[in-house]
Each structure stands twice: as structure tokens, then as C-alpha cells.
Amino acid sequence: MITERSVAGRPPGDTGDAAAEARRDPVAILRAYLALCKPQIVELLLVTTVPTMMVAAGGWPDLRTLAVVLIGGAMAGGAASALNCYIDRDIDQVMRRTKRRPLPANTVTPRSVLIFGLTMAVISVALMAVFTNWLATAMTAGAIFYYDVVYTLWLKRRTPANTFWGGICGSAPVVIGWAAVTGTVSPLGWALFAVVFFWQMPHFYALAIKYKDDYARAGVPMLPVVRSIRRVNVEIVLFTVLTVAASLVAWPLGLGWIYGAAAIVTGVAFLGEALLLVRRTSTGQPAKPMRLFHWSITYLTILFIAVAVDALI
């Protein structure tokens, strides 16, 4: 087992002068708790949630509902991320990509992070319960539980299918937003859920290719660690095609030509980037997987902006 002593080379209580100084700095503490919430991930979740709420409402949703879902959703995402950091603090210490996170850096204590994450989780679910409806509330609570217990504690360290099954909670904000507006989820809501679900595989496989050695060092069986690059390439192309297909399925379910044009153009570009990565990795060229990783974010952002624009016109 990876221990604090074995990684840091000192007793668990000896965090070093830099960490001790950081714990006395209120600004450093604030930054640490913000980092624990993984704001980039929360931001991306909200980028998909707001447009979905707009199309569910046929325009701007009720402002109180919008504010509650934005605040509650951000807190739920932050809570799930903080608890993920608490659970994964052992492997974060040995991965170059994550060793500067607040817990490996000893800026905050595990107990503080656990209390912080659980408190935010309770508040987020309470907000949804008071101001939305039972379906949105249940989905919010279920997403937090699934991400931290089912995915982080169980699937992530046991199966190379972790990214696939973890995609469920990553897609949940779409249907939570829809349910908060309507009290149910229509076929269009589920189609948009499918877009985000399938999108996560090429997005995270690209990241896993980049940090393959990190994941191997930590003993996390990400697909590029335990399967051949040929297998990884097949899944990247397969799930990119499914992402684009799901986006096109959503079109006739209630979206107009602005969305349709965006889905076609960005879908072709997304598939082109995936095929470019496959060609590079298959021929021994420098893979540059982060190019696909960053483009996938651009793709999803443009697509859901088109959803919002379509809802307003």
C-alpha cells in the first residue's frame, strides 16, 4: 500500500516548511479548497446543463430554478470532486499530473477535505430538494454517490471499463437540468445525455494516452495501460462515431437547423481529430493526444451553445 511515509520520505506528521506555511495562509487555503472542487470540470458540466434547461423550457427557464440548479449543480460537482480527491489521495501522490493537488501537497488535511465534501454534498441535495422536484433531487444525490462510491471506490481501480461506467455520472447534469425544469426527462433530454456519455470516452482516452505512465505507476487500469494501442484506437473511433450519431439523433427530436448545422460541422471535425490521433499512434508518429482532448472540449461547448441558441430562436 502506498503510504504517506513511503511517498514523502518522512513521518506522516512532518509536512515540511512549505506545506506548514501554506496552511497558515488564508489565500492558499482558499485556493486549495477551490482546486479540490476541480472548477474546470464543474464549468464544463454547467456548459451542458444550462442549454439543456433552456431547450427543456423552450427559452429561458424560470430564473429561480436556473439559479438553484447552477448553484446546487456546482456544489454537487465540487462535492463529488473533493470526495474523489479524498479517496484518491494515495494514488494522487505518485502521479506527476496530480501530486501537486492540495492533499498530496499537505496544504489541507484529509479530515478537513472529507468534512468539506460531505457538507457541500448535503447542501447541494438540500437545495435541489427544497427548490426543484424529487426527480432532479434524486438524480443529484445519485450522481454524487455513483461518482464517489461506485466509480472512484470500486470501478476506477478494478476495470479498464472504468471510463465507460464512470461516464454515467459525468452525463447526469444534462438530465438533472431537464428534470429540474419539467419534472421528467423527454427523449431529447436522453439524446443529449447520450451525446455527453459517449463523448467522455475519446475525451478521457486521449488524456489517458498522455498520462499512461502515471496511471500505470498508480496501478489504475485505464484502457491505454492494460490494452494495446490498437484496441484503444478502435474505441476512440467507435465512441466518437457514437457521439456524433447521438448528436444527430437529437436533431429531429426538437432542435432546429442551427443546431443541426453545428452538429454536422463540429461532428465531422471531431471525427477527423480522432482519426488523426489514430493514424499517428498507428504509424509511430508523435501522438499529440492532448490535441484531441482539447478539441473534444471545444466540440462539446460549440454543440451545446447551438442547443441554447436554438432554444431562443
Beta carbons within 8 Å of 302's beta carbon, 6+ residues apart: 262, 266
Is 110 in the same domain as 190?
A: no
> Mind listing the pLDDT tens digit for each residue in 159-168?
999 999 999 9
Domain boundary among 124, 158, 184: 184
Q: Are residues 206 and 312 in the same domain?
A: yes
The confidence score (pLDDT) of residue 42 equals 76
Tell me the pLDDT tens digit for each residue of 230-257: 999 999 999 999 999 999 999 999 999 9
Domain presence at residue 7: no
Distance CA 221, CA 247 (A): 30
Domain membership flag for residue 20: no
Check whether 9 has a pLDDT greater than 60: no
Q: Are residues 201 and 221 in the same domain?
A: yes
5 in a domain, yes or no? no
pLDDT tens sequence across 192-236 = 999 999 999 999 999 999 999 999 999 999 999 999 999 999 999
Residue 188 · residue 55 · CB < 8 Å: yes
State whether 97 and 152 are in the same domain: yes
CA dist list (Å): 99 to 89, 105, 107, 108, 312 = 9, 7, 12, 14, 44
Tell whether 208 and 260 lie within a shared domain.
yes
Count of alpha carbons within 13 angstroms of residue 283, beta-carbon side: 9
Instruction: Tell me the CA distances in angstroms from 206 to 251, 262, 268, one per residue in order.
Output: 27, 23, 18
Q: Do the domain assignments include residue 12?
A: no
17: in domain: no
pLDDT digits (tens, 9 = 90+) for 180-190: 999 999 999 99
Distance CA 263, CA 190 (A): 16
Q: Is 121 a domain residue? A: yes
262 plus 306 within the same structural domain: yes
| Domains held by the chain: number | 2
User: Band of the pLDDT at 7, cuts 50, 70, 90?
Assistant: very low
Kind and range of the H or E run holding 196: helix 187-210
Per-residue pLDDT tens for 39-97?
887 777 788 999 999 999 999 999 999 999 999 999 999 999 999 999 999 999 998 88
Asked which of 161, 184, 207 is the last residue of a domain, the reply is 184
Q: Is 115 part of a structural domain of the chain? A: yes
One domain for residues 179 and 311:
no
Q: Are 164 and 260 within one domain?
A: no
CATH number of the domain encompassing residue 309: 1.20.120.1780
Give the CATH number for residue 153.
1.10.357.140
Please tell me whether residues 178 and 197 are part of one structural domain.
no
Q: Are residues 164 and 192 in the same domain?
A: no
Residues 81 and 126 in one domain: yes
**Domain end residue (candidates: 130, 157, 184):** 184
SS3 call for 120: helix
**Both 131 and 253 in a single domain?**
no
Vertex 308 angle, CA 304 and 309, to 5°: 115
Determine the structural domain holding residue 277 and report its residue range.
186-313
The reply to whether 16 falls in a domain is: no
